[in-house]
A and B are shown apart, each in its own frame.
Chain A
Amino acid sequence: GENVEQHPSTLSVQEGDSAVIKCTYSDSASNYFPWYKQELGKGPQLIIDIRSNVGEKKDQRIAVTLNKTAKHFSLHITETQPEDSAVYFCAALDSNYQLIWGAGTKLIIKP
């Protein structure tokens, strides 16, 4: 079955710098890859997603890239701000239409 690995588990960056979180997946049939942001004590919120027919998608300061050959996808946040501090989760939709989740990355924005 599908397995998703996410790195790093914790990422600390200076405010204004960029942050990159990476995920790898194992099932080549997976075709949908969402990213969620979870603030403390709240439910995850979808921030961006990508389907396997495109290699990159951008929404303001957030972008996601997908390399199907290497089976990895990444979240890029530019010009980081204090409100970007949260836990970020990647996921991949497996062949049974179930989302398989990464373990999460705690992003810390240092002032």
Chain B
Amino acid sequence: DGGITQSPKYLFRKEGQNVTLSCEQNLNHDAMYWYRQDPGQGLRLIYYSQIVNDFQKGDIAEGYSVSREKKESFPLTVTSAQKNPTAFYLCASGRDQSTDTQYFGPGTRLTVL
């Protein structure tokens, strides 16, 4: 059963703590993406990766970090430097960056208490 999984579905964090969101795909896709979605708004790109051990900043990378040590995995760390981290986080993957179609995971809702 191929697809993209994100865990956990809901995550609560105290202010000042770092937290890592998981994203795994078994679609053999090279490209992976992290987006942030705020209520009533579109998707904003945080980071993306076209290949293992390489990634680039998106439009709103400040306060976030990523790694791409394996093709299947692209974890996102929300650091304490992110001033307004409460949001819905979506991970996506694509065969490669130039083939356009992105497939999304179910998302993780992060709430800072």
Contacts and interface: CB of A to CB of B under 8 A. Distances in A.
Contacts of B48: 98
A6 B107 CA distance: 23
Nearest to B105: A43
Interface size class, chain B: 20 to 34
Contact of B100 (A32, A44, A101): A32
A82 B58 CA distance: 36
Interface in B10-68: 40-45, 48, 58
Contacts of A42: 106-107
Interface size class, chain A: 20 to 34
A103 interface: yes
Given A99-B100, A101-B42, 13 more contacts: A34-B100, A34-B101, A41-B107, A41-B109, A42-B107, A44-B90, A44-B104, A45-B104, A46-B101, A89-B43, A97-B98, A98-B48, A98-B58
What are the nearest 5 A-B pairs in CB distance?
A: A43-B104, A101-B42, A32-B100, A103-B42, A97-B97
